[in-house]
Amino acid sequence: MDRQDERAEAGHGAGQCGGNHGADHGAGCGAGADDQQIIDQRKLNNRMGRIVHKILVLSGKGGVGKSTVAVNLALSLMNRGKRVGLLDVDIHGPSVPRMLGLEEETILTEGETMLPVELGDLRVMSIGFLLQNQEDALIWRGPMKMAVIKQFLMDVEWGDLDYLVIDAPPGTGDEPLSVCQLIENADGAVVVTTPQEVALAAVRKSITFCRKLNLPVLGVVENMSGFTCPHCGKRVEIFGTGGGERMAQEMKVPFLGRIPIEPEVTVSGDSGMPYIQTYPDTATGRAFAEVIGLILERHVSPRDKETGGSRFESSGGAAIDAQHPEHKEGNMRIAIPMAAGRLSQHFGHCERFALLDVDQATKKIVSKQELESPEHQPGLLPRWLAEKGATLIIAGGMGASAQKLFSESGIQVVIGAPAETPEVLAEAFMTGTLRTGGNQCDH
């Protein structure tokens, strides 16, 4: 067995379970395997519980610059004072070590715990650090890949982080699926494309993949979007432009911005000098910064906006997410189904949900985020909103069975509300001035 195979299987009992540990323990492993699965899940939950935000970077097609976006996204967050981890789960083509100039680094261990490679305040893990030779080919099936990804999430000492950025390989196969199955509360995915239709067709599949797994799409980045000649200043649309934005509108997901083509992006990646660190004041550097700004707007708390500080306010060192009302005494989270920016008269048919955190003492809205509604399935929305921390839903119409499911999920229901904006409805509810009518739904 090669060295990398031994390391990937170490600690996972691959030999004891026929090489399928982490994917399917099987009936033949006995009760001990079930106990180990429970222990592993607790360890994974504890490790991920110290990380506030988990973001996947996906693409439906190779060659669109996904890893470039992931690396510069992670470094941009670090430059803004965030504690960041970068996990490369591209098992067959890890490029993060080279792009960060870390090809010669190896992994250190403390007992069963692996220590990530550190670059400033950035913590990095990749299968590339475990290869004896960078030209080695890993010929692995799904269970092996699932096992090593689980090990990277569960056994790496990530510590307390504001963000974990996960660079997944192209497509909708084992690696992104494994991450989504292992991380139950990921914030969502940044989807990378280039403007031409051949790339957009594949990216649409990535968005469909996210929807089927109830993974929010944080937005689409259009990479390699136009080139400006450094000599004459003329702009040339080598791959076209605007395709990513049009596709985002068609798929009803946010558009985060365009990253233009610059030769220095390729040069910096090949030389291990990340672009955002080397050329922050260029058009491409500013474009990366704008994308990061839009992502942060979805996650930053009011305290962060005022102080620029992090979210970690626990004296015990555990991560506290200010977006979840249960973590801040006196806050409640109100869910409002939306269509065209206003209340949707039936929650099950809405396009998006607005989640508003309200300070019950001051009756003021302290933060708001919008999430794309998952595909409609019976009984899904109450569980989904409960996982997002909602304690109240304001709706137009809702059937009796749905009301019961929300109640069982610990979510209070207000029905018969008018088609107003989420802010108007939340403020009216908190001040006792919300006027409700009849329930238009009888099923």
> Does pLDDT of 157 surpass 80?
yes
Residues 357 and 333 sit within 8 Å (Cβ to Cβ):
yes
Is residue 390 a contact partner of residue 411, using CB atoms and an 8 Å limit? Answer: yes
pLDDT exceeds 70 at position 154? yes
**For residue 165, what are its two tokens?**
């950025």
Side chain identity, residue 144: M
pLDDT interval class at 133 (50, 70, 90):
low
Q: Which of 108-112, 232-236, 324-328 has the highest mean pLDDT?
A: 108-112
Percent of the chain with pLDDT over 90: 14
For 381, half-sphere exposure in the C-beta direction (CA atoms, 13 angstrom radius) is 29
pLDDT at 316: 27
Beta-bridge partners for 259: 223
Q: Report the pLDDT value the prediction gives residue 159, as an integer from 0 to 100.
A: 93
**Contact predicate 184/347, CB 8 Å:** no
Q: Which residue has the tokens 């650090």?
A: 129
pTM summary value: 0.58
Are the C-beta atoms of 200 and 247 separated by less than 8 Å? yes
pLDDT for the residue 442: 42
CA-based nearest residue to 242, from 201, 274, 200, 279: 200
Distance CA 235, CA 405 (A): 55
Strand 331-339 relative to strand 392-394, pairing: parallel
pLDDT band with cut points at 50, 70 and 90 for residue 141: low
State how far the alpha carbon of 28 is from the alpha carbons of 18, 20, 21, 148, 304, in Å.
Answer: 9, 11, 12, 22, 51
Average pLDDT taken over every residue of the chain: 76
Of 5-19, 56-70, 147-161, give the lowest mean pLDDT range.
5-19
Hey, which bits of 64-160 come out as E strands? 84-88, 108-110, 113-115, 117-119, 122-126
Q: Higher-confidence residue: 439 or 348?
A: 348
DSSP string, 170-210: SSSSHHHHHHHHH-TT--EEEEEE-SSHHHHHHHHHHHHHH
What is the predicted pLDDT for the residue at 393? 92
Q: If we measure between CA atoms, which residue out of 118, 99, 115, 97 comes closest to residue 107?
A: 115
Whether 199 and 170 have beta carbons less than 8 Å apart is answered as no
Give the DSSP letter string of 363-397: TEEEEEEEEEPPPP-TTHHHHHHHHTT--EEE-SB
132 has pLDDT over 80: no
**Comparing 41-45, 169-173, 427-431, which segment has the lowest mean pLDDT?**
169-173
Q: How far, in Å, are 102, 363, 394, 435 from residue 427 at the CA level?
A: 51, 7, 12, 12
Domains of the chain: 3-20+30-299 (3.40.50.300), 325-431 (3.30.420.130)
The more confidently predicted of residues 85 and 145 is 85
For residue 158, the model assigns a pLDDT of 94
**Least trusted range by pLDDT, from 194-208, 234-248, 317-331, 380-394:** 317-331
pLDDT for the residue numbered 303: 35
Position of tokens 């409700």?
A: 436
222-255 pLDDT per residue, tens: 887 766 666 776 666 776 667 888 888 888 888 8
Mean pLDDT for the stretch of residues 33-56? 86
Q: What is the pLDDT of residue 312?
A: 27
Is it the case that residue 20 has pLDDT exceeding 60? no
pLDDT for residue 269: 64
Q: What are phi and psi of 227, to 5 degrees?
A: -135, 130
Residues forming beta bridges with residue 87, ordered by sequence position? 125, 166
The answer to whether 92 and 175 are in contact (CB under 8 A) is: no
Distance CA 276, CA 280 (A): 5
Of 186-200, 276-290, 305-319, 395-409, the least confident: 305-319
Q: What percent of the chain has pLDDT over 70?
A: 74
Angstrom distance (rounded) from CA 299 to CA 322: 9
> What's phi and psi for 311, nearest 5 deg?
-90, -5
Note the pLDDT of residue 118: 92
CA-to-CA separations, 24 to 12, 17, 28, 259, in angstroms, rounded: 12, 9, 11, 41
pLDDT at 17 over 70: no
**What whole-number distance in Å separates Cα of residue 73 and Cα of residue 392?**
34
